[in-house]
Amino acid sequence: MTLHVDTPAPPRPGPRRPVGHRGTERSRGFARFDLRATPYFLVSPYFLLFAIFGVFPLGYTFWVSLHEWELAGDKTLVGFDNYIELITDGAFWNAVVNTLGMFAMSTIPQLALALVLANALNKRIRGRLFFRLGVLLPLITSVVAVAVVFTQLYGRDYGMINWFLSLFDVDAINWQNQKWSAWVAISTMIDWRWTGYNAIILLAAMQTIPKDLYEAAAIDGATARRQFWQITIPMLRPTIIFTVFISTIGGLTLFTEPVMFDGNPTMAGGTTGQYQTVAMFIVKEAFRDFDFGYAAAAAWLLFVLILIGTLINYSFTRRIGGSK
């Protein structure tokens, strides 16, 4: 992907182009412009679309967030009042805590399990293709379907999990009722769906690690475990960073699973907001309470939260495998 490939007409003043000195200079100027501008022109469709569907909504959301803005109602400019109100709003921080809590509860075991799975699938085992496809299978089921089925499994009265627990004389658990139980239920939905996806990505990266590294290590007497920690993990670093980023963004915008777990689209996330995430909080404010300005402010704070979360995770994962 070098630049000169993209330039359509090489600026070569020849006999067939009867141009004078000034003309040549102009054409050279055009050529320089061409050389510099064409790449930008070629990548511009992406940026145009990004401007329309990315930058504009971001900016407009910010503009809305500075207003007391009611859906199909009045709009008054109030400056940063929405942000001030939001920072002191217990319900918002409750949603933040829920989001972070479920993120930690789902992502850490998910990535650890994905790593172990990928390592296992990288071994010479019987029916390797079957297993590799198998772990990816949950990904092609719809999120809503997954959430509906899991919500029924976790049902208080007729759910299979409570039935199973009742065999050991455990009382029926109302999974929606407590923070811990709701978080566990939602985390299992997320992990069921995404563990295989991450495992396949890590597996792909593992296969690019040169075999001779392992051979050399084996000759030097390194155990399989040692090889995993000293070769596999450091070599996977960029891929792990990628999966952590994607999981962070996914985790902090968690929405469908807790909404379906609620059983109705009120966006309340349980009777006392036990599992209301920030994304649900935003939708509730905008489309249940019709308070657009407040919702827009919350959306901006979520954006900032994701930036911070990603930076923190980056600083952690950067240290993987040392920086020798």
Partner 1 sequence: MLNNTRHGKLAAVAVMAATALAITSCGSSEPATPAANAGGSSAAAEPVTITVHTFGGGENFGYDKAVETWNAAHPNIQVKYQNLTDRFEDVYLPQLLQRLQAGSGAADIIAVDEGAMGLMKARPQFFTDLAEYGLESRKADFPAAKWDNGINADNKLFALGTDIGGMTMCYRTDLFQKAGLPTERDEVSKLWPDWNAFMEIGKKFQAANPGKSDPKFLDGPNTLYNVILSQEAPKNGNVSYFDKSNQLILETNPAIKTSFDLVKSFSEAGLTAKLASFTPPWNAAIKKGAFATMGCPAWMLGVVSGAAGEENKGKWDVASVPGGAGNWGGSYLAVPKQSKHPKEAAEVLNYLTGKEGQIAAFQEAAAFPSSLPAQQDPAVSELKNAFFNDAPTGQIFGASVKDLLPTFLGEKHAQVKTSVEKVLEGMDQGSIPYDQAWTKFVEAGVKAAG
* CB 126 to partner 1: min, Å: 42
Residue 79's closest CA among 70, 88, 69?
A: 69
Least separation in angstroms between residue 208's CB and partner 1 is 41
CB of 194 vs partner 1, minimal distance in Å? 24
Question: DSSP 3-state assignment of 69?
Answer: strand
CA angle at residue 120 from 116 to 126, to 5 degrees? 160
Q: List residues bridging with 70 in a β-sheet.
A: 291
The DSSP call for residue 324 is -
Q: Pick the closest to residue 121 from 108, 136, 132 (CA basis).
A: 132
CA distance 59 to 300: 10
Least separation in angstroms between CB 55 and partner 1: 23
Q: Among residues 91 and 217, whose Cβ is nearest to partner 1?
A: 91
Query: Nearer to partner 1 by C-beta: 178 or 227?
Result: 178
Gyration radius from the chain CA atoms: 27
Cα–Cα distance for residue pair 207/279, rounded to 1 Å: 37
Nearer to partner 1, 76 or 177 (CB): 177
d(CA 86, CA 83): 5
Task: Provide, rounded to whole angstroms, the least separation between the CB of residue 35 and partner 1.
Answer: 46
What dihedral angle (degrees, nearest 10) is formed by the CA atoms of 107, 155, 151, 202?
Answer: 30
Answer whether 255's CB lies under 8 Å from 247's CB: no
**Least distance in Å: CB of 271 to partner 1?**
3
Where do runs of H (alpha helix) occur along 77-142? 81-87, 90-121, 128-136
Residue closer to partner 1, measured from CB, 65 or 119: 65
- The nearest distance, CB 154 to partner 1, in angstroms, is 11
State which residue, 34 or 89, has the beta carbon closest to partner 1: 89
Q: How far is the CB of 148 from partner 1 (least distance, A)?
A: 9
> 207 vs 271, which CB is nearer to partner 1?
271
**Nearer CB in complex with partner 1: 158/168:** 158
Contact residues toward partner 1 (CB under 8 A) are 71-73, 91, 155-158, 171-172, 174, 176-178, 263-268, 270-272, 274, 287-290
What are the CA-CA distances from residue 63 to residues 183, 186, 295, 317 (Å)?
Answer: 34, 34, 12, 35
Pair of tokens at residue 254? 């968690």
Write the single-letter amino acid at 8: P
By C-beta, is 44 or 142 nearer to partner 1?
Answer: 142
CA distance 258 to 133: 27
